Amino acid sequence: MSDQTTERGLILLVDDDRLLCELQERWLQQAGFTTRVFHDGESCIAALAEVLPDAVCLDLVLPGLSGLDTLSRIKEHHPNLPVVVMTAHAAVETAVQAIKLGAYDYLEKPVDRTKFVTEIQNTVERNRMSVRLAQLEREVGGGGYSGIVGESPQIKDMFRQLDRIATSNITVLIHGESGTGKELVARAIHTHSTRSAKAFVPLSCAAVPESLQESELFGHEKGAFTGATSRRQGVFERAHGGTVLLDEIGELSPSLQAKLLRVLQERSFQRVGGTGQISSDFRLVAATHRDLTEEVRQGRFREDLYFRVAVFELIVPPLRERPSDIPLLATHFLSAFSGGKPNAPLQLSSEALRVVTGYSWPGNVRELQNAIERAVVVARDRTIRPGDLPRRIRTREAWTSETSVLPETTTPQTTSPVPEPADASPQAQTLDEIERDAIIAALARHNGNISRVVRELGIGRTTLYRKLKRYKIKE
């Protein structure tokens, strides 16, 4: 990614005139830019799946795919990528046509050094200013990004990276612990891309048995194996024109890693039991909670496949590293789970807010979401209090010194719960809480089936209904 992180930017030069390319490349490098040179349109388009340039300088007279067709293909999947076209003086009408196709500007050949470098500098700076303006507009509008909630510096930095990569066709590898929202980030990339009108097809590699991974990826023909009673499309076929998310890609078997590498290189594959080649135009977004560089070192993940999927690496920060987002997320989930429900909680008490802010959240955003959902179910009135939160969250041993906002205690090893409101009886509250949690857990295990719940708990149906009413638990 070093080419993509230079201060001045990465410029792609596309021209079959090799001497002119060498000259322009020298000019741009002396001006501080990084460059890559291509002598035909097809190779430039292929490279855009692996690089993220700041601008393209495109000659309109090319062998094979014409300059205008190359421009059209670039703008199809990279609408925000500025393209400056080069044309001979006698072909100004062609340049005007290029502008209509989305070119940023055009230069007539021959062009001198000062004019050429100045045009590229201005193009890059104006494009960066437009991206920054879009970022500021989003921040003023509330700071969210396609359902991703947060205002911490870490999340804002991730938003800036999403702005840069979403409208490209580049392959992305998302790193993050379990529960951080990697799939939500992948959906945001798809939603803000030119592929948003087509399918977003996620597949959790960890959730699919190794014997079925090939079928899930590539599909199968009828009779290909026992149980294959009909033809089935795989994720790559269903995602034609759209985006594939391979979640937990590190869980793919070694044989599937080799086949996936071939698909990424050729964009074609065979169904299991099939003979014909199937082509698919898809964008790949992969995600993992593992350190794939270590997996490569240990021989569990192919190095060549790693380089193919890790073209642009995006890190989703764990919740403990952005504690300022916890109250915002808690309020967001509270609003979502309370919507449309009569007498549902509307706010967190100050004590409950201190608890959720002080907890380390090893399960990240997913754990916070589940805790708020549970609290909405068990809360007795319109306010969520510490007693409505799961017990593990209320024990001081789970709190981290980095995020805790409570006063320090002289006995940090204690596991006593955070005190309840003064009007509650500590002993009765503990007994009630145990009983309420047991009922909620049984209801969850049996999907609200009352007959099964009363059998498991060993109580009568009337008694259960009385306790549901007492604890204000909605079935």
Cα gap 256→72, rounded to integer Å = 34
H or E element at residue 27: helix 18-30
Instruction: Say whether 384 sits in a helix, a strand or coil.
Output: strand
Nearest by Cα to 395 from 419, 378, 431, 375: 419
Share of the chain above pLDDT 70, in %: 87
Label residue 160 by pLDDT band (50, 70, 90).
confident
Cα gap 375→373, rounded to integer Å = 5
Tokens describing residue 127 = 């494009």
> Rounded to the nearest 5°, which phi and psi values hold at 80?
-95, 0
Q: What is the DSSP letter of 88?
A: E
Label residue 264 by pLDDT band (50, 70, 90).
very high
Mean pLDDT computed over every residue of the chain = 84
Residue 267 Cα distances to 19, 247, 264, angstroms: 33, 19, 5
Residues 446-469, mean pLDDT to the nearest whole number: 79
Kindly give the pairing relationship between strand 383-384 and strand 347-348: parallel
Cα gap 317→320, rounded to integer Å = 8
pLDDT at 91: 67
User: Quick check: 338 pLDDT over 60?
Assistant: yes
CB 57 within 8 A of CB 86: yes
Residues 349-364, mean pLDDT to the nearest whole number: 91
Instruction: Say whether 205 sits in a helix, a strand or coil.
Output: helix
pLDDT at 14: 97
User: Quick check: 110 pLDDT over 90?
Assistant: no
Handedness of CA 194, 196, 198, 202 (dihedral sign): positive
- Higher-confidence position of 448 and 135: 448
User: Quick check: 143 pLDDT over 70?
Assistant: no
Residues sharing a CB contact under 8 Å with residue 158, sequence separation 6 or more, in sequence order: 148, 185, 314, 315, 316, 317
pLDDT in tens, 419-446: 444 333 333 344 566 677 778 877 877 7
CA angle 377, 381, 376 (to 5 degrees): 20
User: Quick check: 398 pLDDT over 70?
Assistant: no
User: Quick check: 379 pLDDT over 50?
Assistant: yes
Cα gap 241→195, rounded to integer Å = 6
Cα gap 246→250, rounded to integer Å = 9
User: Quick check: 418 pLDDT over 60?
Assistant: no
Cα gap 51→1, rounded to integer Å = 8
pLDDT at 412: 35
Kindly give the pairing relationship between strand 219-220 and strand 268-269: unpaired
Cα gap 232→271, rounded to integer Å = 9
pLDDT at 90: 58
* Beta bridge mates, 243: 200, 283
pTM above 0.85, yes or no: no
pLDDT in tens, 217-238: 999 998 888 888 898 999 999 9
Share of the chain above pLDDT 90, in %: 52
pLDDT at 94: 84
Alpha-carbon radius of gyration of the chain: 28
Cα gap 324→473, rounded to integer Å = 31
* Beta bridge mates, 287: 174, 247
Residues 377-391, mean pLDDT to the nearest whole number: 88
pLDDT at 406: 36
Cα gap 190→116, rounded to integer Å = 35
pLDDT at 315: 95
pLDDT in tens, 286-330: 999 999 999 999 999 999 999 999 999 999 999 999 999 999 999
- Higher-confidence position of 405 and 24: 24
pLDDT at 413: 36
pLDDT at 138: 62
Residue type, 366: R
- Alpha helices, H only, 143-279: 153-165, 182-191, 210-218, 235-238, 254-266
User: Quick check: 362 pLDDT over 80?
Assistant: yes
Label residue 7 by pLDDT band (50, 70, 90).
low
> Rounded to the nearest 5°, which phi and psi values hold at 363?
-90, 5
Instruction: Say whether 152 sits in a helix, a strand or coil.
Output: coil
pLDDT in tens, 44-85: 998 988 888 999 999 999 999 999 999 999 998 888 899 999
User: Quick check: 3 pLDDT over 50?
Assistant: no
Judge residue 43's burial from the number of C-beta atoms within 10 Å of its C-beta, 0-12 exposed, 13-18 middle, 19 or more buried.
Answer: middle
pLDDT at 78: 87
Residue type, 388: D
Residues 135-151, mean pLDDT to the nearest whole number: 71
Tokens describing residue 136 = 């500021």
Residue 361 Cα distances to 18, 299, 351, angstroms: 57, 32, 17
pLDDT at 420: 43
pLDDT in tens, 163-172: 888 888 899 9
Q: What is the DSSP letter of 416?
A: P
Cα gap 400→398, rounded to integer Å = 7
User: Quick check: 1 pLDDT over 60?
Assistant: no
